[in-house]
A and B are shown apart, each in its own frame.
Chain A
Amino acid sequence: MKNKKVKEFLLFGLFVFPAVAFVLFSTGIPFIMNLYYSVFQWNGVGKSMKFVGMDNFVKIFTNDRLFWRGVRFTLKFAVFYVIIVNIVSLAVALVMSKEKKTSSVGRAFYYVPYIISLTAISLIWKFILGPGFEALYEITGWGFFNWSWVGTSKLAFYVVVIMAVWQNLGFYMVNYIAGIIAVPTELLEAAKIDGANGIQTFTRITIPMIMPAISICMFTSLTFAFKLFDIIMVFTKGGPANSTVTVAYNIYQEAFSNNQYGLATAKSLVFVLFVLAVTAIQMKITKSKEIEA
């Protein structure tokens, strides 16, 4: 009996521990080191650190306008992004999974942003929103082409959302396609025979059947939204007037521009606890739905 347990544990270790080891090496241990740094004042370079106890945390909660602004932005972004990207990519996936002949090419199109390096993407967007929109405005005369999209605090938010959706759509699309194709055709045909219309089959059969895919997409889109950094770093730089500073960008600035590595690690801990709470709730919700289905 005992032998079997040991054997099972060894087997478990053989399968799981290599992955765990890699994660510990690249994230786990650095994260634990962050716990340690978070109670120090350290510029991230020098040989000496000053122990400050909970001061960093106190500072975050009492005197850090920009961090909380970043939290608000990130939350708002997360709501918009998660909803929009999931709806749009599901719609695209529905079409792409049907049109077998052309869909291969179409799918590749949606994946293009993944293939292009980020520096080039920021260049492209700069010109699309600049001269591109100008030209469109001259052709169409539609006012919104003439708005200062990147130069206005409110509009910059939508630019970030649209860019993020644009950039990542392909990923979610592939996941949804995988889910949709796995829906047994007999089920759909049976529904059709029973007289269900398109919307009914979609909500009653397709949605419950692709719940695992939805669950994956929700979780990954949520964690992506919370960690949003790349687009801010290469494109808006947090501007104009700090209106697009995200938490991750704020942490980065704190660590590398303001040289407050201790404070930056403290911020990341606060934020990770928060993200854990939110994603735990989200996972609970989607998990319960999955079981229902």
Chain B
Amino acid sequence: MMKKFRRVNWLSVIIFLCSIFWLLPLILIFINSFKPYNDMIQQFLSLPKSWKLDMYVETWMKFEFPMLISNTLLYTVTTVLAIALMAPMAAYKLSRTKSRFSGICFILIIMPMMVPFQSYMISLTRVVASLNLSGTKLGQILVSTGLCMPLAVYMIHGFVKNVPYELEECARIDGASNVRIYFNIVLPLLKPILTTVVVLDTLSCWNDIITNQLIVGGSAKARNIQNALYMQFSAQTSDWEHALPGIVMSMIPALIFFICMQKHIVGGMTAGAVKG
């Protein structure tokens, strides 16, 4: 008994110690967000001389944070909702339909995962422009939904195989329509993977720079947080004094969201495991 207890702990201790290495950036960013530029370069690892919130306040005002947050929130929420609605539907149907056409559709959807985004950036801006969506919030939402779709569908697609088919059959015999079967029986069973996808896409939308630059780059009213902060950097200057407080502030909602969702992932996953 004693022996087993010790062995489990030993491995865990290593992994937990290692996890500090993953947490380190968070701490470093936080302490450096209080330092003047020169101190940051000279003594990156030491604690700041003072913990004044001046730069936080200044950054908040200068970048019009309330607007940035509401923009970023809008993009993230709509994109994630769109993904959460469409991706499981597609993944479910594609997984259950065994035709050649279905296979082609699946490959078509996951194909973007293999194409470097940088190679079609310009073409994408042309497509967006031809629909008169450049510089608009709608354009940003549509594009980021499209870009998040492949991974979401792919991940859910793999999971659907674990969902027992018998449940659907029973419901069908009871006379439930296909749409109802999906929403009442299948979707709840997909919850664990859906939670993972939602967390993933939320974080990537929240931290998105490149799509925002490409699609709404010119329009100050439609920028998101990271894009606005990123504009403080150039090949020859970096305004870390404003960027780091900005990054910390942008991280707080993401962090809170993640910690909240974390429990759901665990809960959802164990619920999914009941399938037997």
The 0/1 profile, CB within 8 Å of A marked 1, for residues 254-276 of chain B is: 11001100110110011011011
Does any Cβ of A come within 8 Å of B184's Cβ? no
Does any Cβ of A come within 8 Å of B80's Cβ? no
The reply to whether A117 and B229 contact each other, CB–CB distance below 8 Å, is yes
Residues of B within 8 Å of A251, CB to CB, are 116, 118-119
The reply to whether A132 and B45 contact each other, CB–CB distance below 8 Å, is yes
CA distance in complex: A181, B16 (Å): 19
Of the candidates A22, A24, A92, A229, the one having the most CB atoms from chain B within 10 angstroms of its own CB is A22
Q: How far is the CB of A214 from chain B (nearest CB, A)?
A: 10
Beta-carbon nearest neighbor of B118 in chain A: A252
The 0/1 profile, CB within 8 Å of B marked 1, for residues 121-141 of chain A is: 101100110111001000000
Does any Cβ of A come within 8 Å of B154's Cβ? yes
Q: Which of A31, A120, A272 contacts B247 (CB 8 A)?
A: A120
Q: Which of A104, A114, A268 contacts B262 (CB 8 A)?
A: A104
Does any Cβ of A come within 8 Å of B60's Cβ? no
The reply to whether B127 and A25 contact each other, CB–CB distance below 8 Å, is yes
CA distance in complex: A106, B13 (Å): 11
Task: Give the size of the chain B interface in residues (CB under 8 angstroms).
Answer: 98
The 0/1 profile, CB within 8 Å of A marked 1, for residues 106-145 of chain B is: 0011011111111111111011000000000000001101
Beta-carbon nearest neighbor of B43 in chain A: A131
CA distance in complex: A11, B99 (Å): 14
Does any Cβ of B come within 8 Å of A16's Cβ? yes
Does any Cβ of A come within 8 Å of B217's Cβ? no
The reply to whether A135 and B149 contact each other, CB–CB distance below 8 Å, is no
Q: With A15-B90, A26-B146 known to touch, is A255 a contact of B118 (CB < 8 Å)? A: yes
Does any Cβ of B come within 8 Å of A155's Cβ? no
Q: How far is the CB of A224 from chain B (nearest CB, A)?
A: 9
Residues of B within 8 Å of A121, CB to CB, are 25
Task: Please tell me which stretch of B51-59, B62-70, B157-165 contacts chain A, meaning at least 4 of its Cβ atoms lie within 8 angstroms of it.
Answer: B157-165
Interface size class of A (residues with CB under 8 A): 35 or more
The reply to whether B142 and A124 contact each other, CB–CB distance below 8 Å, is no
The reply to whether B108 and A106 contact each other, CB–CB distance below 8 Å, is no
Q: How far is the CB of B6 from chain A (nearest CB, A)?
A: 14
Beta-carbon nearest neighbor of A26 in chain B: B146
Residues of B within 8 Å of A170, CB to CB, are 22
Task: Please tell me which stretch of A57-65, A76-84, A146-154, A171-179 contacts chain B, meaning at least 4 of its Cβ atoms lie within 8 angstroms of it.
Answer: A171-179
The reply to whether A27 and B112 contact each other, CB–CB distance below 8 Å, is yes
Beta-carbon nearest neighbor of B142 in chain A: A25
The reply to whether B116 and A166 contact each other, CB–CB distance below 8 Å, is no
Given contacts A16-B94, A227-B116, 9 further A-B contacts (CB under 8 A): A33-B123, A104-B262, A118-B209, A119-B247, A128-B24, A175-B155, A177-B269, A182-B272, A267-B119
23 A-B residue contacts at CB 8 Å?
A11-B178, A15-B182, A23-B108, A23-B149, A26-B146, A34-B120, A34-B123, A98-B8, A102-B16, A104-B266, A112-B25, A112-B26, A116-B26, A117-B209, A117-B226, A117-B247, A166-B22, A171-B200, A175-B155, A181-B273, A216-B158, A227-B116, A252-B116
